[in-house]
Each structure stands twice: as C-alpha cells, then as structure tokens.
Amino acid sequence: MPSQQPAPVYLNLFRIRFPVAAITSIAHRISGVLLFLFFPFMVWLLDLSLQGPDGYAHALALLQPLWVRLGLALIAWSFLHHLLSGIRFLLIDIDVGVSLGAARRSAWIVNIVGLLLGLACLGWLL
C-alpha cells in the first residue's frame, strides 16, 4: 500500500504558481463582480446627468475628486478586461485557440491589452 502524504497544514496562496489562463479567469470573475457592484452607481450617475444642465453639472462635480477618478479607472479596467476575456472565452467555446500554446498566448494578450487600456483610461482621467 503506497504511503500517503499528509495534507498541507498551511496553504499559502502566494506561493502557488497559477497558470496565466487561471489568472485571466480569476480576473474575469473579479471584473464581473466589480461591474455588478458599480452598476447601480453608474446608472444613477447617468440618470443625474440626463436631468438637464444642472444635473449634468452636479454629476460632473461628483466625478472631480481623485478617489472617484481612480474608481472610474477601475471600472474602465473591469469593463475592458471583462470584454476581452469574454471574447476569448467565446472563441474557446467555438474551438478557436483551444491548444495549450494558443490558450496561453491569448491569455497573455488579454491580460496585457486589458492592463494597457486600463492604464490609458487612468491617464486620460487624471
């Protein structure tokens, strides 16, 4: 009978090396949760801005603090990463880029392009 290894007592998630596709998948889920949580605020802000010139000025004033603009950049990254990652997953569903090399490449592309577009939005907002 083969000897069993003891179960790990302490699991340190920072020492586990996740494949790039797993990181892309986790970031896709996180970005979806962020979009879901920020959706009511964004709809309220849109409604406020469409109430007339005074509402638009008030909505614009609400977007001026630095922490709000950083939050908007996070929302922009969430949207862009979720969109790119969703397109990647849809392509994988129709058997495009399913091989290991193509899946790794597409995961790297999604992560890098999403990050660059998010940083571009941050630069534009600041």
Give the predicted TM-score (pTM) of the model.
0.83
Structural domains of the chain, count = 1
Instruction: Answer yes or no: is 111 within a domain.
Output: yes
Q: Domain residues for 72?
A: 20-125
118 and 27 in contact (C-beta within 8 Å)? no
Instruction: Answer yes or no: is 12 within a domain.
Output: no
pLDDT digits (tens, 9 = 90+) for 62-99: 999 999 999 999 999 999 999 999 999 999 999 999 99
pLDDT digits (tens, 9 = 90+) for 102-122: 999 999 999 999 999 999 999
Instruction: Answer yes or no: is 6 within a domain.
Output: no
Q: Find the CATH number of the domain harbouring 107.
A: 1.20.1300.10
> Computed over its alpha carbons, how large is the radius of gyration of the chain?
20
Instruction: Answer yes or no: is 101 within a domain.
Output: yes
Instruction: Answer yes or no: is 85 within a domain.
Output: yes
Instruction: Answer yes or no: is 2 within a domain.
Output: no
